[in-house]
Structure 1
């Protein structure tokens, strides 16, 4: 198996074609083809993560999305965020989420990373 780094769009497309052919073979993991698929898939994944990074969502947008997807209303959020006016303030961006709110929201199944947000870049 000849492996090289993916440095361009052409390299990426060629690697995708190789991975696609290997997927069609559906090799067992302990075969040479299975190992090749694992290695090439890892290269493709690393290139895609570097080329098209997916940033963590804004915490408030994550909550709104969850509410929309599950049919929750402002009244349903009272046990997690606090009184209705506080829910409106948080969803409107007028008040930040607190750690107790985040802890309660975690029980809904919203990922912690979505509620906390992306880490701030280090100040130098």
Structure 2
């Protein structure tokens, strides 16, 4: 699998972002809130992911950008965990909710756990662990 993070793998459509927050299921794995929505219609050929860091939690833009870079890199290195799923693609929102700056190793470990959880659990109810 290609280990790059292309533009078509990043979620940037306002319509799909709104749909993710309206209809998606969510769970919490500190320091992330994870939103997931499975799409069955053919908008994207890949899973799409959104990275978000709250301005309220981390005031300085350099710190927010640092966390987003770490999140993107951790996702890029571990996206093969999701693999190729034939039954529809997923839209994933990774929202960083901590007010502390954590190391790359912590972020990578949590993102591995998140991707494993997304792959193994069916997305039936609104809030599942």
If the TM-score is normalised by the length of the shorter chain, which range does it land in? under 0.3
- Bigger helix share: 1
- Greater length-normalized contact order (CA 8 Å, ≥ 6 residues apart): 2
- Bigger strand share: 2
Provide the TM-score with structure 1 as the length reference.
Answer: 0.21
Provide the TM-score with structure 2 as the length reference.
Answer: 0.21
Rg larger for: 1
